[in-house]
Structure formats: structure tokens, C-alpha cells
Amino acid sequence: MTDGFLDNAFFRNIYCNLASSGSDRCAGGGPFGDGLLPPGWEWLAFLVTAFVTVFVVVNGALMAVNLYIWGERRLLGRLQGRLGPNRWGPFGLLTPIADLIKVLSKEDIVPAAADRLVYSLAPVLLVVPVLLAFAVIPFGSSTWAANLNVGVLYLIAVLSVESFAPITAAWGSQNRYAMFGGLRAVALLVSYELPLVLSLIGVLMIAGSLSLVDIVNAQDVPFALVQPLGFLVFLIGSVAEIQRAPFDLSEAESELVGGYHTDYSGIRWGLFQAGEFMSTMVSGAIIATVFLSGWRGFDFLPSHAWFFIKFAGVLFVMTWIRATLPRLRIDQITSFAWKGLLPLAAVNLLASAVLSLIWPRPSVGELWAMAAVNVVVAAAAIYVLGQFGPKPGERPRPAVAPALGATGREGAA
Amino acid sequence: MIERSAIIDIVFWAVAALAIAASVMVVTVRDVFKASLFLAGSFVAAAGLYVLLRAEFLAAVQVLIYVGAISILIVFTVMLVRQVSGGNRSGGPFFAIAGGVAAVLVALAISYAAVNSKWSDLDRAAAGDERVAAALTGEYQAQQSPGNPDVDLVKVPIDDPEKARHGVFERTTNQLGTMFIRDYVLAFEIISIVLLAALIGALAIARGARDGGTS
Amino acid sequence: MVEHEPIALTPTPDNPLFRQTYELDRSEGAVINQMRATHIEQFPDPLIEVPAEFRRSIFVGSIDALLNWGRKSSVFPLMMGLACCSFEMIASAMSRWDLSRFGMEVFRASPRQADLMIVSGTVTWKMAPVVRRLYDQMAEPRWVISQGVCATSGGPYYESYSVVPGVNKIIPVDVYVPGCPPRPDALIYGIMQLHEKIKRYSLAGRAAGRE
Amino acid sequence: MTIVLGGEQVASVIEAITPGSVTGHDSSAAWVRAETWPAVARGLHDRPEADFKFLNSVTGVDYIDHFVIVYHLTSLGHNHSAVIKIRCGEAREDPVVPSAVPVWRGADLQEREVYDLMGIRFEGHPNLKRVMLWEGFPGHPHRKDFLR
């Protein structure tokens, strides 16, 4: 086993305090003395370290999601000319806590027709991948739970498991609304996964690594500038992947009641909500890391603050989108993915491939040159693609169902 | 005293048991939807085995493609099929015999491959082969010996300090990419053509069904 | 009450729409008629009772306080508008009155996830089974506000042939908000009264009037 | 503004379409015999000089000793409107009038409502059943003899 995990200061501190100093893995012991455990008990130190790390990451994520829900509700309120939650606790900060208490103490209904196993599995399938995704995100210059050498791929793989949740919930609850929501969700997720992954490949070619830490280190110029098209596609694609407005048609409340979680109540529904908000946070963190140069910034603020600023900025934009745009139909959404985002991602991929052939290991100046070329490419690609779509003000002709065509015109001459 | 390798052993056996159990459930459970969920579970377990073999790239791709895409499509298809939870009736003795023969053949093939493979790296590391152990811990780079095919690995000092710290098996991604584009490019492209043909065929079938079979 | 025989219908059985829906209509009508015949007595208003042995218990009391605080601070209303009062209900969630200050902007469309049913407006007998079903589908603990005089007593349609004389004949009601329709201020005052009521629940005591 | 045709004008138009179908007229409406109503309706809808493509409303009136159905029609092309009344039967028992649904589909729900609340049958309606009240409600509440 490689000892890459000891690069992490947090890991190292815990492990080396526990493990014997005779171990060659942490020469010099931990910062607070060494070797609480006798030699030969390194496995226990390893387990404890792993457990503590997982504990910190999971609970940190769960606390952060409370904060984020509060922030989103306040921000939505401001964007809609309201005040937002402000009664319970200072600035309404305790409102999500109250939601948590209420949801925990609410009756947990399992419908009689539901498939109990599948029904109970669905919230877990939503929450666990998101929590797993938090593991590789670098929150600061040396703060991460794991630095995988396939970090980006890991993130995408883990988050793709998440698309099981809607369909499992839909099937498990045996509800028609849920079934419609689940089918829509899967159509949406399968459509947007492709442009999402393709738009990342340009970044990987420039950074030359799949590790998120390496990608941040390679961003002497933020990749949002170097890869404007990829950034755009990834932003739209990730908003679609987490199924927020305007892509929230899978839980469209005005038509499908609650979509795939219609029949969930109590803490299971709470898990769904928490999972959705956490996946929003993960998406924001990925965008901040991969495209906005993560923790890097100027020296007057610590790296964690820079990460947090970018992260919050991305979340602000996502909330802004949610408050602004109306919901789209399923055919509009899928055709936008296949006819709009996929060609754009392919153009981005092609341009990045050519550019990374010209400048294999780009310096800062070369990165700026790439940015200039790519901005032109992005503008041209979007303009050309726009020529194929419907013009502004042009409406698609509504399709007449053939069965209605005969009887619908009865008596109309 | 428990070594860290013992933990890895425990994890291996757990994951392997999970994979086998999930696979058995796939073929025994009557509900097709649940069967497809178990299929996804066995894919995840296979990815876990890849992680234990330190093929993280392969594991991530396994989860991404098999769990995230193929299983989802299977589930999606299952939901559009009638009579899901009742299970389908058995196809008679012919299918049972054919299935049994196919299963036995596959098992034989896998056993043959398992017995005749050179399980060089990990076994020898465990057995104390100092060359492999050195390669794994990053002291030496493992390379195929050009002259003598019986010797798997020769000592080549690692010049890259980053690599030396992590060991040589870190950058499997690059090696895989090189293999795909250089050594196995023909097979790679043939598979691509087969996939393209399947795609076009599916498209033709779908369109024909919609236009009343005329196209 | 003069009994009328229903006029014999000349059904049009050739029409597929009629064939498909007429039996459904009849069974639905039977349910409504049965409800009309049986739901004559009002449900008693849910009362707060704290058993004497728990009244002094600090432990249970503090758990209660926490639970009740959480429940009162996040009451998610059911997205259900029956009549004109629902516009006042919607207005109370809009920017001028802003229900979201209480953490209540989360109007849930699914009854499973809602805590509060605001019966906003006239409940006709044809709607009564639906209201009852939605109430039954809500998860405990659940509360009901009867908004407006129509929901409370039938209002201007009192003793009408099609209007339920008070929604408390169908479901137990916690808070009544009078008005025709009540202004959003009045509705929010009613909601704050409900908050006061929720604060007095206890783990051991169950509210009266539940079935 | 829409030109409101007087009863006399409407009556002459209808007479031109189907002679012998008008039983009388007053200042605002023309009275049509019930059994000729399908032909009259078809003519009012199709004839270019009438061109009543739009049905505003169908109303039932209880005159204690008989029922009357009132149709309000509008021509969007000529921008004029007309009122047509039909007396259903001689007495209260079993009031029947031919349905206008084959001509104007918009009459569907309105005729059902009139049936539901007044108890007037529309012969030829494709789906005549209660729409406001539930199936099994005793009587028709908008009749003047309805008491609860």
C-alpha cells in the first residue's frame, strides 16, 4: 500500500500521534509526541485515523448543508423581494435546525404498495455518493481527505451512481407521479452526463492530470478563462445533473406533486432534500476547484478563504439561476443537451486538443494565449450553433395528435 | 498482531463475498427491477476489487460506465417493460440445459485463465521477492526485461523523486492511454466500429417502429 | 327537506368516454353520499393535554420543548387552494406579508411532506372526500387551519345543498380564522396562534379528536 | 363594438336558412322550435351571412310551468351577436331539447351543467352526465321547486 495518504497533514497528525514512532511511515512522530500505541498496532491507528477523517468530512458536510439551506432560502427571499427566514435564531440561522428536528420527529410512512427494500434504499443511494464525493475535494492548500490520482474520474463516477436514486425511489414507492418523475430524471441525467464529462476533458488535457490537487496547481490562469466553453457547458450541465431549476422537471411540484419523492415523508424525505442540497454543494465545489483555481488566490487571505469565496460565488450563481429561470419541458431539455451542449463540448474538446498539441506544458503566457484563442472559439461556436436553433420570437408549431385530429375539428366546417 | 495487509485481506474477502452474493441474487431473484439493482451492486463490488488491485482508473471507469450508464439504462428499460415484479416464466428444459452449458464453459474459461496467468506482482511481493517489493515501495522501477521473458521485472533506478515516493503503480492512467493508442489500437478501433454499428442498428430499429415499419 | 327522485338519465353508452367514466362517477357519488350521511357531528377541536405525571418532569419537558420548538419553527403548509381564500393564502406567502419569515415558504405539494393543511375556502361535498384523503395522507404530527367563514361554517353558503357546513365535520380543525376572506394578516395571526398551540404539545399527550 | 342583432333580424336570418322553424320573436331574441334546432344551429354556424362560429353561453331558465334554453351566439367574422331561445316541451315533465354539441363543441360542458342543475336533457349529447354535483345527488337544485 502506498503511503500517499500521509501527505495530508490532518491524516498525518492523527496517525503519527497514535502509531509507534518506530514506524518508518512517520519518522519524527506527530506534533504532540509520538506513539500512543505500541508497535504492531499501526492498523488500529490507521482505522482510527480513517474513522476520524470520515467522521469529520461527513459531519462537516451535514453541518455545511444546513448553513447552505439557510443561505439559499435567505438569498431566494432577497431575490424575490422578500425577507426570507428571520424569526428563529439570529437572522433565522436556526430555521434549518428546526426543519431537521421536525423532519426527524415526523411520522415515517411507508405506503402499503411500496417495495420496502427498494423504497428504503433510494435515499441512501442519493446521500452516500454525495458524501463520498466530498472526500477528494481540496478545501484548502493542504486540506483534503484524499488526493486520488484519478480524482476527477472518481468524482464523476461516484456522482453518476447518484442517478440511481430517483429511479429507485420512483420504483420503490409505486406511485404514478413518482414514476413520471423518475423517468424524467433518468432521461435528464443520462442526457447531461455526456456533455458534462466531455467538457472536463479539455481541462484534463491542459492540466495533464486527473488529480484535483494537480489541476488546481496547474491553474496559473483560472481554467474558466482558458476553457470558457468548457466552463459554460459544465456549469449548465451540473445545474442539470443536480436537477435544480430550470432543470427541476423531475420533481416539478406544480405538475408532478413531488416527482420521485412524492411518497416519502419524515427523515427519508429529509435525506432526499439534504442529498439534493449537498450535491449542489459538491457541484459548486467542483466548479470552484476545476475552473476557478480552487484555493489559489492572493496572499492576504488564507487559501481556505479563497476556496470559500469562489465556492460561495458559484452557489450564488446557481441560486440566482434558480430564482430567475422558469422550468423547461423534457423535450426542450433533452434536445438542448444533445443538440446544444454536446456539440459545444465537442468543439471545446477539439480546440483544447489542438492547443495542447501546440503548447504541451503551457506556461502562464501560453495559458493566456490559449484563453484568447478559446474565447474566440467559444464565441464563434455559440454563434454558429445559434443559427441552427429557433430564432427569437419563433415558436415551434404545436404537434397535433393524430387521434384528435379527426374528432377535434368536428363541426368546424 | 494484525498487519495492514490483513486488513486488506479482510476487505478483499468482504468485497469478493459481496460480488458473489450480488451476482447470485441477480439470477435468482424474481423481480427484474431488483435483479438489475443487484447487477449494479455486483458491478460496484467488481470496482472494489479493482481498487484493491490498485487499478483506480479501471475502478472509476467501471463505476462510471457500468454502474452510472449501463445499469441505469437497464433499469430504465426494465421500467418500460410490463410484468416486472412477477418475474418471467422459465423457458423450458432447452434453455436450462443451454444456460447450464454456457455457465460451465465460462467457468472453465475463467479457471483456465486464472490458473495459467502469471500472477507476478502481488504474489511475489507477498512472497518476499525483493525486486517486486522494491518496485512496489518505489525504490526501483519495474520494467519488462527485453532479453529474457521469464524474468518479469528488472531493477531500474527511479529518477523521478515524485514517482519514487509514490511507487510506480500510481500513473496507471497514462499507461492505459499509451496501450490503447499504441499497442492495442487495432482492437480498440474495431470495438469502436462494432459499437457504432450497434448504435446505428438500434437507431434503425427505433425509427422503423415509429414509422410503422416502413423505413 | 323534500326528497327528490333523480331524473332518469338517458345514458349515451355508445360514447367511449361515457362508458369509461360513468361507473367511476357512480362510485364516487356513493362515497360522497355516504360521507354526507355519516359526517353530521363535528370533530371535537384538538385540545392540549399534558398528563399530570409528566407536568413536573424536567427531562420530558425539555425534550418536549425542543421537539415543539422544532415543529413550530418549521411548519410546512400543504399546497392546497380550494376557493377564493387561497389567493389570500398565496398572498401571505408573497413579498408583502412573507410567510417565509417563519420558515414556512416551503409549500409542499405532497401531503406526505406537509405539516399544516390550510383549508382555504369553500369545501363542497364533492371536494370533501379529497380533503379527507389528503388529511389522511399527511404524516403525524399534522395540523389544520380553517381559513375563512366558508370553511369554518359554510359561511354565505350555510345550509346550501352542496357545501359542507364547516370543515370540522370532515377533519378536526386546530385553528379557525374568520373573515370572508381573511386578510393575510389574519391568516398569519392564525398561524402564530397555531405556533402557540404547538408549543404546548407533549410527547405523552395525544391531541383529542384524532381517530 | 359587437352589433347586437335584434330578435326580428335574427328571426329573418333563421327563416332564410330553415323556413318554418321560428315560432316568434321579441325585441332581443328569436324563438325556435325545438325539433328544428339541429338544422337551424348547423345553418347558423355554416352559412356565410350568419357565420355564428362562437357559442357564448347556454342557459336554462325555469318559468315554473315550462323550461327555456337560451343560446347566446357571436360571429367573430361579422362581429355581430344573437340570442336564440328554445322552449323545452309544454310542461315541467321531461324537458328535452336537441343538443348543440355536434355544431359547437364548446356547448359540451355548458349543456352538462344545465342538465346537472336544471334537469333538462339534451338529446344527442355525447356524454350527458352530472358535472358540478356528484352522481346520486337527489334532484336538480336550480329548479324553482327544489327545497332542501
pLDDT of B197 higher than 90: yes
pLDDT of C204 higher than 60: no
Task: Report pLDDT digits (tens) over B113-136.
Answer: 888 776 655 555 555 555 555 555
By C-alpha distance, the chain A residue nearest D103 is A411
Same domain, A116 and A161: yes
Task: Report pLDDT digits (tens) over A22-67.
Answer: 555 555 545 555 566 666 666 677 777 778 888 888 888 888 888 8
Compute the count of residue pairs across chains A and C with CB atoms less than 8 Å apart: 101
| pLDDT, position C20 | 77
* A345-374 CB burial, b ≥16 within 10 A, e <16: bbbbbebbeebbeeeeebeeebbebbbebb
- Mind telling me how many Å the CA of D117 is from chain C's nearest CA? 11
Task: Report pLDDT digits (tens) over A218-276.
Answer: 888 888 888 888 899 999 998 988 888 788 888 877 788 878 888 888 888 888 888 88
User: Picking from A409-413, B87-91, D27-31, which range would have the lowest pLDDT averaged per residue?
Assistant: A409-413
Q: Is D86 part of a structural domain of the chain?
A: yes
Q: Is D122 part of a structural domain of the chain?
A: no
Which position has the grid cell 338519465? C9
| pLDDT, position B160 | 55
- Domain total of chain A: 2
User: Picking from A34-48, B192-206, C141-155, C190-204, which range would have the lowest pLDDT averaged per residue?
Assistant: A34-48
Residues 6+ apart with CB under 8 A from D30: D7, D10, D11, D14, D22, D24, D82, D83, D84, D85
pTM, 2 dp? 0.79
Same domain, A251 and A338: yes
Same domain, A238 and A341: yes
Q: Is D68 part of a structural domain of the chain?
A: yes
- Mind telling me how many Å the CA of A261 is from chain C's nearest CA? 9
Same domain, A131 and A57: no
Does chain B touch chain D (at least 3 C-beta pairs within 8 Å)?
no
Average pLDDT, chain B: 73
Same domain, A215 and A324: yes
Band (pLDDT 50/70/90 cuts) for residue B82 is low
Q: Which residue has the higher pLDDT, A7 or A146?
A: A146
DSSP string, A243-254: T-TTS-GGG-HH
Residue A10 sits in which domain range?
1-79
pLDDT of B165 higher than 80: no
**What distance in Å separates the CA atoms of residue A136 and residue A132, rounded to the nearest whole number?**
8
| pLDDT, position A170 | 86
Task: Report pLDDT digits (tens) over A147-191.
Answer: 777 788 888 888 888 888 888 888 888 888 888 888 888 888 888
Same domain, A207 and A287: yes
**With contacts defined as CB-CB under 8 Å, which chain B residues touch A150?**
56-57, 60, 173
Same domain, A49 and A126: no
Same domain, A130 and A266: yes
pLDDT of C49 higher than 70: no
Average pLDDT, chain A: 81
Same domain, A309 and A164: yes
| pLDDT, position B78 | 78
In this structure, what CATH number is given to the domain that contains residue D47? 3.30.460.80
Helix (H) or strand (E) holding C147: strand C143-147
- Domain total of chain D: 1
| pLDDT, position A412 | 38
pLDDT of C2 higher than 70: no
Q: Is D29 part of a structural domain of the chain?
A: yes
Q: Is A412 part of a structural domain of the chain?
A: no
| C17–D146 CB contact, under 8 Å | no
Band (pLDDT 50/70/90 cuts) for residue A19 is low
The parts of chain D modelled with pLDDT lower than 70 are 148
Q: Is D132 part of a structural domain of the chain?
A: no
Cα pseudo-dihedral B46, B50, B52, B53, rounded to 10: 140
Q: List residues in chain C touching D: CB distance below 8 A.
A: 1-7, 9-12, 15, 17-18, 21-22, 25-26, 28-30, 32-33, 125-126, 159, 161-162
| pLDDT, position D49 | 81
By C-alpha distance, the chain D residue nearest C15 is D126
Q: Is A291 part of a structural domain of the chain?
A: yes
Band (pLDDT 50/70/90 cuts) for residue A3 is very low
- Mind telling me how many Å the CA of A42 is from chain B's nearest CA? 7
Same domain, A75 and A111: no
Q: Is D53 part of a structural domain of the chain?
A: yes
Question: Could you tell me if A210 lies within 8 Å of chain B, comparing CB atoms?
Answer: yes
| pLDDT, position A203 | 87
Same domain, A26 and A140: no
The torsion angles phi and psi of A33, rounded to 5 degrees, stand at 90, 180
By C-alpha distance, the chain D residue nearest A410 is D102
pLDDT of B171 higher than 90: no
Task: Report pLDDT digits (tens) over A331-375.
Answer: 888 888 888 888 899 999 898 888 888 887 788 888 888 888 888
- Segment A108-131 shows an average pLDDT of 86
Cβ-based neighbour number of residue D30 at 10 Å = 27
Out of C95, C112, C115, closest to residue A82 by CB:
C95
Q: Is A88 part of a structural domain of the chain?
A: no
Task: Report pLDDT digits (tens) over C93-125.
Answer: 888 888 888 888 888 888 888 889 999 888 888
Same domain, A135 and A194: yes
Out of A121, A153, A193, closest to residue B61 by CB:
A153
**What distance lies between CA A234 and its chain's CA centroid?**
10
